[in-house]
Structure 1
Amino acid sequence: MALLSQQQLQRFLLNRIDCNAGFKTTSKKNVSVANKERSRCCSAIAIDAPSSGLTDVARIKWGSTMIQGLREEMEDDVVLRSDDDGLDGFSFAAVFDGHAGFSSVKFLRDELYKECVAALQGGLLLSGNDFKAVKKALEGAFESADAKLLKWLEMTGEEVESGSTATVMFIRNDMLFISHIGDSCVALSRSGKAEVLTNSHRPYGSNKVSLQEIRRIREAGGWISNGRICGDISVSRAFGDMRFKTKKNEMLEKGVEEGRWSQKFVSRVQFNGDLVVSSPDIFQVALGSDAEFILLASDGLWDYMNSSDAVNFIRNQLRKHGDVQLACEALAEAALDRRSQDNVSIVIADLGRTDWQSLPLQQQNVVFELGQAFATIGIVSLGIWMSSLLSL
């Protein structure tokens, strides 16, 4: 757990949130790791929502942010679209987490939305109370988008080994649909309790989903080495990644050339399917009166903060100032303060049902922050004392 910096300590003692009104747009170019400059892109919108029988709901408030951590490139992206785009009262949000370049994300951030909207017949299927139809439509949209991406990558020759995870949400005040591949995650706050709605698609671990992914990969002729498919990639569902789909044999030959495995080993490999797939998990979640907000974030957050901590952090932020955008930015900074090495992308949808100012701060979080503050004071004092001794 990272201690508070001197700047954060000052913020804490003054009980202020210091978030810049202006911000730097996230760069897709290389950023020096030594400088580890945190570039960010943020946005906040409030979307009118239709009546859904919940009379206390008026508006959904959105916040989003992306911060580049110690990675050399920013390969994440966030997409938000309001219900004005013909989604029959639903709004769209997505987080993309790219790897081996930004090209796949660049293609998907527009194309996947178009494929989903077309497959869902605008928002008609979302409002039709037929989950099987929605599931089939979104599965088809992901499959179509991936096929188009693979053709585009091969045609352009632009970062042909790139790929991207994607977690997509369609939200109305009373209903949430999720279409998910990869290791981003969606969590829902219900009366302050964190409810995790998605599972990470990774080829390691002992949970049910991971074991299913490992079995699927092995049945397709692949293998797992050090928690990675063929010792290479650590997510088992993603867009792009043609070397694990249409170019598997070329991947084997390249591995022989690089000395990663022998020709004899390769001669025994027989592929029966794609090692990385774009088939999504689809979820439908009813949003009752106890639903407070929805949190969607890349693994740059979840690898360093669990869902309960993240939900409590957001709730305390909203109690202080009620600003979902500031809460979003503060959560991203908190992930980096916990030594997150990855890019961090976050979307928060405040469903507008909670009077945040009327809720008391959670005592355990206040005590924890005080402990951090006093620990930091102690370290600073110790540093000053040691400096004075050295100067004697």
Structure 2
Amino acid sequence: MGIYLSAPKTEKVSEDGENDRLRYGLSSMQGWRATMEDAHAAYPDLDRSTSFFGVYDGHGGKVVAKFCAKYLHQQVLKHEAYLAGDLGTSVQNSFLRMDEMMRGQRGWRELAILGDKMDKFSGMIEGLIWSPKCSEVNDHIDDWPSEEAYNLSEDHKPDLELEKERILKAGGFVQFGRVNGSLNLARAIGDVEFKQNRSLPADRQIVTANPDIKTVELCDDDEFLVLACDGIWDCMTSQQLVDYVREQLKTESKLSAVCERVFDRCLAPSAGGEGCDNMTMILVQFKKPVDLDASVGEKIQKEQPLSSDLRSETETDRSSVETESK
């Protein structure tokens, strides 16, 4: 059946975890595809103030997805811009550095460690979030209803005006919504055959690994974040997925189980078309902040003994009640 199996592999690899700011659950499933090309990373405590989550969707091979899952967060963490509190710059440079490593001698050595065939290198980053540390606020969502989906990213499709302009200037073309008639996305780590113009910097190649950076300030009404590959987004809109997750959370507290139910809902009954891709999803649920002053005050009030004056008044009131009852 070519790229598809005769029956889907529905075994799921799942994980749950938490820290004092958030809970997360994740799961992945091969599905109808002949190979599993997705990878993921989940580090709720990348350091003392930062959490890192990523879903990596390989295409034409799994090498780049695995490579990013293993090394991208390490690049971010050690970058000098990150150490200075500039998340945006550290992320951008880390993406470009990973792409450079795909072509450099060091990159080849590290790819060999993964033990994969290295005939094709391609991969797409589906989502990243840092919490709660932010470098700058570009968008504020205090006024959004908590039940409404809010898209944190936009698919980098080749026929988008900004992407198409870069592709054409770099000497490429867009045909049938695909780069040079073959690749249906305009930004990726890897895909080195679309990055051969030596007169252009990395962010102006036909296909670029240069990411869009968007920082959002969380508010108390924000409930959860979903990161997923297109095996999910091809089957459900953002709003449909948010509505489904909220409904599941009414009866299911294990976040990875919610991800697994999403897969079962999306899985196609037969091979071909939507619902047949690899599926990976991370669900991050934000914990509500605790008012420490209020909770401490309430505890003191419960535990503090009555003052002598208040005790006397209470005893007098009790005596009056007993006299009246007689």
Pick one of 182, 196, 200 that aligns with 2:155. Answer: 200
- State the alpha-carbon separation in 2 of the partners of residues 232 and 61 from structure 1: 39
- State the alpha-carbon separation in 2 of the partners of residues 324 and 124 from structure 1: 34
Q: Deviations over 1:4-46 (max 9, x none)?
A: xxxxxxxxxxxxxxxxxxxxxxxxxx99611222232111111
Superposition map of 1:170-249 within 5 A:
170-173=129-132, 191-204=146-159, 210-246=160-196
Q: Deviations over 1:250-299 (max 9, x none)?
A: xxxxxxxxxxxxxxxxxxxx999521100000011111011000011111
Identical residues among aligned pairs (%): 25
- State the alpha-carbon separation in 2 of the partners of residues 306 and 93 from structure 1: 21
2:298 aligned partner: none
1:135 aligned partner: 88
The 1:190–1:351 alpha-carbon spacing in structure 2 relative to 1, beyond 3 Å, is farther
Superposition map of 1:72-87 within 5 A:
72-83=34-45, 85-86=46-47
- State the alpha-carbon separation in 2 of the partners of residues 283 and 34 from structure 1: 41
Q: Deviations over 1:81-114 (max 9, x none)?
A: 121x42x321110000001111112222122111
2:56 aligned partner: 96
| Deviation of the 1:70 alpha carbon | 1.9
Superposition map of 1:20-31 within 5 A:
none
Pick one of 283, 299, 302 that aligns with 2:230. Answer: 299
Equivalent residue letter for 1:315: R
| Deviation of the 1:175 alpha carbon | 5.5
SS of 1:44's partner is strand
Equivalent residue letter for 1:102: K
- State the alpha-carbon separation in 1 of the partners of residues 133 and 10 from structure 2: 36
- Compute the TM-score of the two structures, normalised by the length of structure 2: 0.75
SS of 1:346's partner is strand
Would you say the 8 A contact 2:81–2:87 is kept in 1? no
Q: Deviations over 1:147-188 (max 9, x none)?
A: 01222566669434321111443432575999xxxxxxxxxx
Would you say the 8 A contact 1:120–1:138 is kept in 2? no
* Runs of at least 5 residues in structure 1 that lack an aligned partner in the other structure: 1-29, 50-59, 126-132, 179-188, 205-209, 250-269, 355-392
2:241 aligned partner: 310
Measured on the aligned residues, the alpha-carbon RMSD in Å equals 2.9
SS of 1:193's partner is coil
SS of 2:261's partner is helix
| Deviation of the 1:315 alpha carbon | 0.4
Pick one of 275, 293, 297 that aligns with 1:340. Answer: 275
The 1:168–1:304 alpha-carbon spacing in structure 2 relative to 1, beyond 3 Å, is closer
* Runs of at least 5 residues in structure 2 that lack an aligned partner in the other structure: 138-143, 290-326
Q: Which has the larger radius of gyration?
A: 2
Alignment of 1:115 with 2:75, yes or no, is yes
The 1:32–1:164 alpha-carbon spacing in structure 2 relative to 1, beyond 3 Å, is closer
1:386 aligned partner: none
The 1:225–1:121 alpha-carbon spacing in structure 2 relative to 1, beyond 3 Å, is closer
Deviates more, 1:343-352 or 1:36-45: 36-45
The 1:106–1:321 alpha-carbon spacing in structure 2 relative to 1, beyond 3 Å, is closer
- State the alpha-carbon separation in 2 of the partners of residues 194 and 176 from structure 1: 23
Would you say the 8 A contact 2:82–2:89 is kept in 1? no
1:276 aligned partner: 207
The 1:154–1:230 alpha-carbon spacing in structure 2 relative to 1, beyond 3 Å, is farther
Would you say the 8 A contact 1:31–1:72 is kept in 2? yes
Alignment of 1:66 with 2:28, yes or no, is yes
Would you say the 8 A contact 1:297–1:346 is kept in 2? yes
- State the alpha-carbon separation in 2 of the partners of residues 316 and 101 from structure 1: 35
| Deviation of the 1:124 alpha carbon | 5.2
Equivalent residue letter for 1:169: L
1:45 aligned partner: 17
Equivalent residue letter for 1:201: H
Q: Deviations over 1:41-70 (max 9, x none)?
A: 111111223xxxxxxxxxx11010111122
1:387 aligned partner: none
Equivalent residues, number: 270
Pick one of 103, 122, 128 that aligns with 1:169. Answer: 128
Q: Deviations over 1:292-346 (max 9, x none)?
A: 0001111111111001110010001000122212111111221215841211110
- State the alpha-carbon separation in 2 of the partners of residues 66 and 140 from structure 1: 28
The 1:190–1:144 alpha-carbon spacing in structure 2 relative to 1, beyond 3 Å, is farther
Would you say the 8 A contact 2:55–2:128 is kept in 1? no
Deviates more, 1:336-345 or 1:150-159: 150-159
Equivalent residue letter for 2:146: S
- Please list every run of at least 4 consecutive aligned residues from structure 1 whose deviation after the TM superposition is greater than 3 angstroms: 120-124, 152-158, 173-178, 270-273
- Compute the TM-score of the two structures, normalised by the length of structure 1: 0.63
Would you say the 8 A contact 2:82–2:90 is kept in 1? no
Would you say the 8 A contact 2:259–2:281 is kept in 1? yes
Would you say the 8 A contact 1:90–1:123 is kept in 2? no
- State the alpha-carbon separation in 1 of the partners of residues 37 and 117 from structure 2: 14
- State the alpha-carbon separation in 1 of the partners of residues 127 and 268 from structure 2: 27
